[in-house]
A and B are shown apart, each in its own frame.
Chain A
């Protein structure tokens, strides 16, 4: 079992009448990507900011890299890297100057060509922050978080507001961080992102973690199974699904059967083709979207709002 790098116990953060975090507990293990996923105002940022020593919990306790967030702030800050939500750098400083500033604060002398090169920023090293695209800004944020070669990285909503291309580029960067052995704590309201990047995830809604596990387990537990969807509604298919599927959904144009495992869904698909190989059939895999819908009773839109 890998070593625990974060242990959070019953963390509570209360602001006068508002409870932002309501007793969350979770562990993060070395080398994994752990995601806190949920809509806006769910308590994701507040939770990670407690771990980054930027907020003091009202109650509960947490250790980061074995250090107490209440007592060993400076030691923790020296060993973590942070990219805050809505990241910004000095606008009129260049990419290189911004990264150098952070390196000097950590009192390290990194190989900037390597750091910036790995994030595709070396060519843009003399460009001012204000002149960078949204995707490049986020990559600079990540380079500022990794320049001190931290053991643990906190990336708070690293792709919010980016276009799909820039988002995918950022995902590649995060996956590379995992490959070189970094532990990453990610917050996101993009279910696809969490599913694509995370080893484990915690679903957080209104300050409570309502489920946490590996992404695969969450999907298998709460994803609602695999769906075999047949275009053109047909009585024979309906009869077949009634016998083999957990549940059958029909509408004007199609018949859908739900199956608990991929194997059972594949078997059902083969049976449909046996009836007639002209049917248009596909398998819809369960996703974190389904997990969230199942657990929270709604979906999260592009802006992070619960709908």
Chain B
């Protein structure tokens, strides 16, 4: 499928079918795209396949069919290390820092692909952006609080200057004040030109802080549109309450950008 001449799209996933066990897919042909400087959030009920889709895009689980392109380059089916090398940053939900390594070492692993000279510069930049980490750089990551770990995880992913960063439930288990801090950081990141894709269980909070939203139900695209529009759309709430799979006839609501056509 042609890229529609939209050069600002940094990540595109088309009709991805994937799961943990071959032959038993959890994601049944989901699609999404992220443009430069955009914050897109994937929301949906439990078991909808949100995390699975993210892992498939990252190359951590196999893709049975569909396509993933990063900066216009096809990365479908490549192992995670290759996808990261192509410009992706990924922060998983759990186990997103190396607890046995120090903060400094965590960042160094994040910069594994960097050339020697770049490593020092990126480390400095990470410490300037996240002063909390600088203060504790020799401490083991397991001594960090939940919010600090999240900071480290994000800083780690940013070491390679990725074009797209994907975060799986970045605010899970965090105190409300810290939650907003995280969202703010992500907005700043996007403002710098990075495409940000997040999976969130906290749909309201995510939509309030995102540009666009994609609703996934039972592994398929259900709704899509501007975040503000989705916030006010009753169909979104219905989807979360275990509503019908497939298209709803209710309007998407007013929006600056027209809602995407959704194929079941």
| A pairs with B | no
Which A residues have a C-beta under 8 Å from some C-beta of B? none
